Amino acid sequence: MKNPIFDIENWREIGATLARNKTRTFLTAFGIFWGTAMLAMLWGGAHGMEGMLRRNFAGFTTNLGAVFPGQTSISFKGFNKGMQWTMTQNDVDAIRRITPNIEYSTTICQNYGTIQYGTQSKQAQIIGYEPDFSKILLPVIYSGRVLNESDESGSRKVALIGKNIAAELFGTEEPVGKFICAKGIYFLVAGVIGQTSEVNIGGRYDESVIIPSSTFRRAYNWGNQVNFFMYTADAGHAPSELKPYIIRAICANHPISPEDDKAMWFMDISEEFNMIDNLFLGVSLLALFVGAGSLMAGIIGIGNIMWIIVKERTQEIGIRRAIGAKPCDIIVQILSEGVVLTSIAGLAGVCFSTLVLALVDSQTTDHVLGSAGFILTFSQAAGIVAAFLVLGTAAGTLPAIKAMRIKPIEAMRDK
């Protein structure tokens, strides 16, 4: 007897059997189709939603920390509580000297004033950064360059301007190489930058004028004062791990108690990113749970239709057994019907979900940030179809075993 897998007549018979049970076959196929489509869309959709949220933090390092001066809440060394203290460059030098595992760091000085070019003017924020700022809050460089060590050490009067300021002051004219007046002082425009992240610390690049920190303090008579200090920790270390060293460095220069947790405010962006990671882990698990529910509904449908097929073909199976069909031939024949149904409906569901995800991805793609990630990879698609095939085959195993055990004499008596 021919192997049912390679017997063309057997495959024709499978098609005829499924066709005879049109309603059941359609409902089962639709359940499989919808189960695979739901699982695939939920999987790809969860990845895309995570990508869209993470785009809000694009250009933002995940291990960023910052320390801001505050108001004391404990009396110390003869000074009453409630004292407002000012951070200085000496504090920053002490922090860098004793604190390990700082990767990049910068002081931040902020002011506000009128920015002028020719007859055009605009109110904007003026920010003093050190060169490492471009490695911490990664800017988009539209033209020119970013600040470097020579600008900082030489207190050069160079500036980076945000793309929105450049558009308002210069229009279509190239700003790089031109001079602007920022609060009464002229600076040479070295570059035009922008910001992709929706999050900002100190001000958005798009709406700011950025100059070297040393130039800022000298030009605007700030002396040693800085607004706050920003840093990133080395790989494998959290910014909060550096907190004790920073507190010790600052307390050595100011009458602040080391126990005063309100005298300075710390920010650790890595904690926010950990929360986002945990949030989307939960979303992914929920998507898989809902998709698995749809998958199981389709699998149960396969099992049901296999039981019905076995019941309807009891006599036929008995006759096959009587004329010499082996048990494995009966099992393969019954399972083949479930595999065909699962394969066709499953592949259709994956293809449908891939098209839907591709459409959504095309609508959410940003010309700067790129795709959000509403995609289903080949391995994911293959995994979903393989899972349906394995579970669909398992669902048809019991009906196939029942068919194998049918005795010819009992099958002939069945009505």
What confidence tens digit (pLDDT) does each residue in 302-341 have? Answer: 677 677 666 666 666 666 666 666 767 666 666 676 677 7
Q: What are phi and psi for residue 148, nearest 5 degrees? A: -130, 180
- Give dist(CA 19, CA 11) in Å, integer: 12
* Helix extents (H) in 75-202: 89-98, 133-136, 149-153, 163-170
Predicted confidence band of residue 36 (pLDDT cuts 50, 70, 90) = confident
Q: Is 208:125 a contact under the CB 8 Å cutoff?
A: yes
282, 287, 289, 294 alpha-carbon torsion, rounded to 10°: 170
Predicted confidence band of residue 22 (pLDDT cuts 50, 70, 90) = low
Low-confidence winner among 50-64, 199-213, 336-350, 395-409 (lowest mean pLDDT) = 395-409
Q: Is 208:128 a contact under the CB 8 Å cutoff?
A: no
Question: Which amino acid, residue 186?
Answer: Y
> Would you state the pLDDT for residue 30?
75
> Would you state the pLDDT for residue 346?
80
> Would you state the pLDDT for residue 215?
94
Count of beta carbons in the 10 Å neighbourhood of residue 184:
10
- Give dist(CA 318, CA 322) in Å, integer: 6
Asked whether the predicted pLDDT for residue 250 surpasses 90, the reply is: yes
Angle of CA points 163, 169, 171, to nearest 5°: 75
Residue with tokens 């550096």: 242
Which among 291, 309, 313, 289 is positioned nearest to 301, based on CA atoms?
309
- Crossing angle (nearest 10°) for helices 269-312 and 314-322: 70
Rg (CA), the chain: 34
Distant-in-sequence, close-in-space partners of 363: CB < 8 Å, separation ≥ 6 = none
> Would you state the pLDDT for residue 6?
44
- Give dist(CA 10, CA 17) in Å, integer: 10
Q: What are phi and psi for residue 409, nearest 5 degrees? A: -65, -35
> Would you state the pLDDT for residue 185?
93
Dihedral angle sign, alpha carbons of residues 396, 402, 407, 413: negative
Strands 208-212 and 120-129: parallel
* pLDDT tens digit sequence for 46-88: 777 777 776 666 666 778 889 999 899 888 888 888 889 999 9
Give percent of the chain above pLDDT 90. 33
Which among 330, 338, 335 is positioned nearest to 403, based on CA atoms?
330
Asked whether the predicted pLDDT for residue 382 surpasses 90, the reply is: no
> Would you state the pLDDT for residue 97?
93
Predicted confidence band of residue 4 (pLDDT cuts 50, 70, 90) = very low
- Tokens coding 130: 């050190």
* pLDDT tens digit sequence for 282-303: 777 777 777 677 667 767 766 7
> Would you state the pLDDT for residue 158?
96
Asked whether the predicted pLDDT for residue 1 surpasses 50, the reply is: no
Predicted confidence band of residue 150 (pLDDT cuts 50, 70, 90) = very high
How high does pLDDT run on average in the chain?
A: 80
Which among 212, 224, 204, 103 is positioned nearest to 158, based on CA atoms?
212
Q: Is 385:350 a contact under the CB 8 Å cutoff?
A: yes
- Give dist(CA 55, CA 59) in Å, integer: 9
On the CB side of 406, CA atoms within 13 Å amount to 30
* pLDDT tens digit sequence for 214-230: 999 999 999 899 999 99
Q: What phi-psi label fits residue 200: left (phi over 0), alpha (psi between -120 and 50 degrees) or beta?
A: beta
Predicted confidence band of residue 195 (pLDDT cuts 50, 70, 90) = confident
